[in-house]
Amino acid sequence: MKLVAVGGGHGTAVSLRALRRLSADVTGVVSVADDGGSTGRLRALLNVAAVGDLRKCLGALADPENPLTASLEHRFNVGELAGHAVGNLLLVGLLDATGNLEETVRAVAQVLGVTGAIIPASCEGVVLNATTEEGSSRGQSEVARSSGIRRLHLEPANAAAPIEAVETIERADVVLIGPGSLFTSVLAACIVPGITQALAGTAATKIYVANLRPQTPETVNFTLQDHVDALAHHGVYPDVVLVDEYSLFAAQACTLDTRVIALTHHNRLVHDVTKLSDAVREELERR
């Protein structure tokens, strides 16, 4: 069974861990639009693609017994290296040497003993822009601080998606979209033109995992339907929505097929890997 997660950051890392419990054929298609923190500093210094979300997702599928896996998230706290994660430096160093983002990710995945694959959503670094009710925002960090977002677009507008990412989505049995920041994580990956087209053309069951709460200010006051409408406005049409039974969205109506189910455990602020995996399995059995 071919399973794919699309998005970026912590949310997609959780999705990948959940999907790996169901199959060894798991792929993450990950945004490279980040421009904050360690990643933003490295982008500004070396003019390279964002690697932070790639690092998180590589760690999600990496061999837990590999010593390098544990060190990926280690951050230095002194001097010019303060705030930088080891994984970011590893990826950027290899990218600076090879000049090829896909080759860099494959090489690091091999060293980490990754089960499955991680593929950047675009072949090069992109800048995320947004049209808002008050004007425009440029860069992922600025977009994340915006409200009233109406439309996203990328620089360059014709950013190419890796052929492997497109073909993997087209051949998938399941595509998990989210959870994660709606505009700056989930849609940042989905609006790469080739990814949007692949999502539209795949026969896979497309499952949107709703966030557990609105994100301030990015989706402040958003309903579940507002999230679904924003996806559709950008050409992304899930078949079903998974909603945690304890979330603010559980009692809200939605035009899509909606499954209200337990997706958290003791910590109601994060999705539980086992429960999300079980929910995907149940959805497949239901269909």
Q: Which are the contacts of 271, defined by CB distance < 8 A and separation ≥ 6?
A: 11, 14, 18, 179, 209, 212, 244, 263, 264
In terms of DSSP bridges, do strands 135-138 and 205-209 run parallel, antiparallel, or are they unpaired? unpaired
Partners of 30 in beta bridges: 7, 120
Alpha carbon 252 to its chain centroid, in Å, reads 24
Average pLDDT over residues 138-167: 95
Look up the CATH architecture of domain 3-286: 3-Layer(aba) Sandwich (3.40)
Please give the pLDDT value at position 287.
73
Quick check: 31 pLDDT over 90? yes
Per-residue pLDDT of 250-276, as tens digits, reads: 999 999 999 999 999 988 889 999 999
The full set of domain ranges for the chain reads 3-286
Which one, of 260, 170, 192, 183, lies nearest residue 214 by Cα?
183
Q: What sign does the dihedral 96-99-101-103 (CA atoms) show?
A: negative
Average pLDDT over residues 96-122: 94
Distance CA 121, CA 128 (A): 13
Please give the pLDDT value at position 149.
95
pTM metric for this prediction: 0.94
